Structure 1
Amino acid sequence: MNTRSKTAGIVAVGSIIALTLAGCSRGAEAGPDPSGDGEVAASPGITDDSITLGVTTPLSGGTAGPGNCTVAGLVAYFGEAGPIEFGDGKTREVTVEAYDDTYDPQKALTNFQQNQANVFAFTSGLGTPTNRAYRDAAIEEEVPQVLVMTGDPLFSDREQSPWQLGFVPIYQNEGAAFGELLAASTEEHKVAILSQNDDYGKGYVEGFKEAIEGAANIEVVEELTYEATDTSVDAQLTELAASGADVFFNAMSITPLTISTIEKARELSWSPSWFLPSNTSSPGAILGPAGANPDDGFYSVSFAKAPQSPAFAEDEDVTTFLAALEEHSGDYTTTPDFPHCMWSYMVGATLEEAFAAMEEPTRESFMEALGGISGFTAPLMLEGTSIDTTQDGQPAVSSVVVQRYNGQGYANADAFE
């Protein structure tokens, strides 16, 4: 298994992390100290001077770009912040251990099974199928699986998933934002839809269709799917282009396929306006390499400041973030080509908020503290968005801003053009 790990801060560690705290996480879970001195026994992965976080995410393969970003921002944040003061009065070094799952659910489950006894919590990892793969095991073993990068609503259902919490907006919210923008247009539009044949794609389409329901000016004229394992969607693009649609809703999560759809549409002389998910709309890694024409209209949604945007060139959050990424994240990436780099930096800030409210070194205390964050504006957040972990059924971030590609970065889109 290809595994890379890096300590956030100064020292790289591996198996030397306090193995005396390992063992079955449930069996070693916190409770009264058997010594009888009244102290609560610490959960696995945390000592008086350190805490270890695990990330299972694609570090290689077709989603390696965003996957590496899910670790890079996290490492950058804690590397820059240094030791963190916790709510129990202890100051701890935060260590991040990253495990490559290549976007393969079985590998993600194996990563959890092999490492859950040595880490305090799993966080930040990319993917709906991969995060779902070890969700049940995390619940059974009572291991936090939080602020993960999937828009699957299941991870924000506190009753069904008491040890989980998503970070990014649920897919339905992103899809609805596109639908609302389009429905507000005064023109008539024909829409072609291509979606990933899983909960990811279905969620986007569900939110979009609900938002355009009853809009007399919007007609869905063609709808096709693809599999996440497909290496080409040329056949689907040819059929969609023939539909005469002037809007293309492309609910796709695979970077190479997203690039190829833009290239294939150009080959077919099809120039619709595009709606792209937040995780596959990077100007530097997708739109630029694909030769996307900003005049066509490429729309995405965001809650993070984009370092590539001239509007944020001198922004203090952005300059601090870029410096931290350059200094601490070389094992993953120092170039924030994907929004996941910014998202994982925000995850770090959100975790620090929870750590500061933890009164005991236990997973239960952590989950209680994490669930009490409201109105927190993490570094890099766009105006009008914030962190709120108190809403059942919603992830830590539930609001987004629709933006349009301008050839360099994105600018807010107040209307569909």
Structure 2
Amino acid sequence: MRISTISIAVLAAAGMMAASPALAQKKYGPGASDTEIKIGNTVPYSGPASAYGILGKSYAAYFKLINEQGGINGRKINFISYDDGYSPPKTVEQTRKLVESDEVMAIVGNVGTAANAAIQKYLNAKKTPQLFLATGATRWNDPKQFPWTMGWLPSYHAEALAYAKYILKEKPNAKIGVFFQNDDFGKDYVKGLKEGLGDKASSMIVMETSYEVSEPTVDSHIVKLKASGADTLFSFAVGKFAAQSIKKVAELGWKPLHIIPNASSSLGSVIRPAGFENAQDVTSATFAKDPTDPQWKDDAGMKKFHAYVEKYIPEGKATESTVLTGYSIAQTMVAALQQCGDDLTHENLMKQAANLKGLELDGLLPGVTVNTSATDYSPIDQFQMMSFKGERWQRFGDIIKGEAPTVAGR
């Protein structure tokens, strides 16, 4: 009897609100209606980076989960994902189709710096949100010039700032050697490190050397850096080049504090090829839980994640760290859409995406949260240091905030 009384009261209140349109006015832009929210995406399901196609499948699986739970404020997500083959011209072609033919509300979670850069001006001209990108380039945090674009992965620049804070605190007299990839990836890290070290950068950095991705081996660079007298080495390198640097340092019997970027901390693609024995005490930083680490077996967020993988994307078990990134990006998108309420316009979605405060995600480390504002489009800029011991990474120390400034001079 009590339940029906409450129901009647709720219905009466709903009727009063319906009689006053100003109290509950729905607003819709392209891609939104009373029943659905249309979201678009391109990822490389084929081509040289097809391994990242699992991200698209992860988004689709999470949105399916949300739809089965009732959707977003009663609306189902209609997720449209196309293959761009990791080719920027293809990304442009497929994105135009999503915006002009499919009329999506937003582009979400696209992979890669070059692909996203190719569509950034177009989407900003169309005032279509380009949200939570699977790339850590600093250029996505430029709300003045590109108010419709926002990244998701922590920027390389912010990560390097966190490393600088760590070094200044733990090893203020370090002699630093910097080894970096000669492109935006490597240069973002170097810029962040120097900015973080401030006026001590010139005295602490004793040598810098860059490599080209066309080089078969980077051994000669490591030999030069050892000869420089450096006792701290930053290898801002990816994949096989990071593995080569770890292996060569060990072969030389050199014992610097060796820091590699989070992007190169993968057991499968970097640490194992370098050799576990060679990677002992190599240091990096992380912001997310490792779904393969037994320390999280009783963690509530990881239990939810593993149940999602089991039910919705069992093929993702082999690449769970990448799947967790997709899951987390989709979770962030759902949070922004929920904040939109019944105002589902491009403008309000962007406003809500830039108003995420202390958002906790299942896959983020305790103490790391998503935070955005109208002047800061970098959702994650907190890290915890970790060191490789035995056959796994071990986290240590407090959460470090790598302040992520907006792009300068814009």
Asked whether the two chains share a fold, i.e. TM above 0.5, the reply is: yes
Separation (CA, whole Å) in 2 of partners of 1:183 and 1:346: 32
Q: Kindly provide the amino acid, as one letter, of the partner of residue 247 in structure 1.
A: T
Q: 1:232 to 1:343 in 2, by over 3 A?
A: same
Question: How does 1:59-138 map onto structure 2 within 5 Å?
Answer: 59=45, 63-65=49-51, 67-83=52-68, 89-102=73-86, 104-117=87-100, 118=102, 119-138=104-123
The one-letter amino acid paired with 1:246 is D
Measure the CA separation in 2 of the matches of 1:267 and 1:148. 38
Task: Identify if the C-alpha distance between structure 1 residues 373 and 262 changes in structure 2 by more than 3 Å, giving closer, same or farther.
Answer: same
Residue 7 of structure 1 corresponds to none
TM-score by length of 2: 0.79
Residue of structure 2 aligned with 1:53, choices 24, 39, 43: 39
* 3-state SS of 2:204 partner: strand
Contact 1:299 1:402 in 2 (8 A): yes
Corresponding residue SS for 1:397? coil
Superposed counterparts of 1:278-297, under 5 Å: 278-293=262-277, 296-297=280-281
Mapped partners of 2:320, 2:248: distance in 1:
22
Q: What root-mean-square deviation, in Å, do the aligned CA atoms of Structure 1 and Structure 2 show? A: 3.1
> 2:171 & 2:350 partners in 1: Cα distance?
46
Q: Is 1:348 aligned to 2:318, yes or no?
A: no
Count of aligned pairs: 371
Q: Name the stretch that deviates more: 179-188 or 161-170.
A: 179-188
Measured at CA, do residues 245 and 371 of structure 1 come closer, stay the same or move farther in structure 2, by a change above 3 Å?
same
Residue 156 of structure 2 aligns with which residue?
171
Query: Does 2:259 correspond to 1:275?
Result: yes
Distance in 1 (alpha carbons) for counterparts of 2:38 and 2:244? 39
Within a 5 Å distance, the mapping from 1:231-246 to structure 2 comes to 232-246=217-231
Q: Which amino acid aligns with 1:354?
A: A
How does the TM-score come out when normalised to structure 1?
A: 0.77
Structure showing greater radius of gyration is: 2
Give the drift of 1:250.
1.7
Percentage of pairs with the same residue: 25
| Equivalent residues of 1:128, 1:200 under 8 A apart | no
Per the TM alignment, residue 317 of structure 1 is displaced from its structure 2 partner at its CA by 1.4
Please name the residue that 1:162 is paired with: 147
- The match for 1:257 among 241, 246, 259 is 241
2:120 is aligned with what amino acid? R
Q: Which runs of 5+ in 1 are unaligned?
A: 1-37
Over residues 91-131 of structure 1, what are the superposed CA-to-partner deviations in whole Å (9 max), with x where a residue is unaligned?
A: 203425142443x4334333323433323322222322322
1:128–1:199 CA contact under 8 A, matched in 2: no
Change (3 A) 1:236 1:295: closer
Equivalents in 1 of 2:38, 2:257: separation in Å? Answer: 44
> 5+ unaligned residues in a row in structure 2: which ranges?
1-24, 399-410
Residue in structure 2 matched with residue 317 of structure 1 by the alignment: 301
After superposition, give the CA deviation of every residue in 1:206-243 in whole Å (9 maximum; x if it has no partner).
Answer: 11122233559973222122345655434434433443
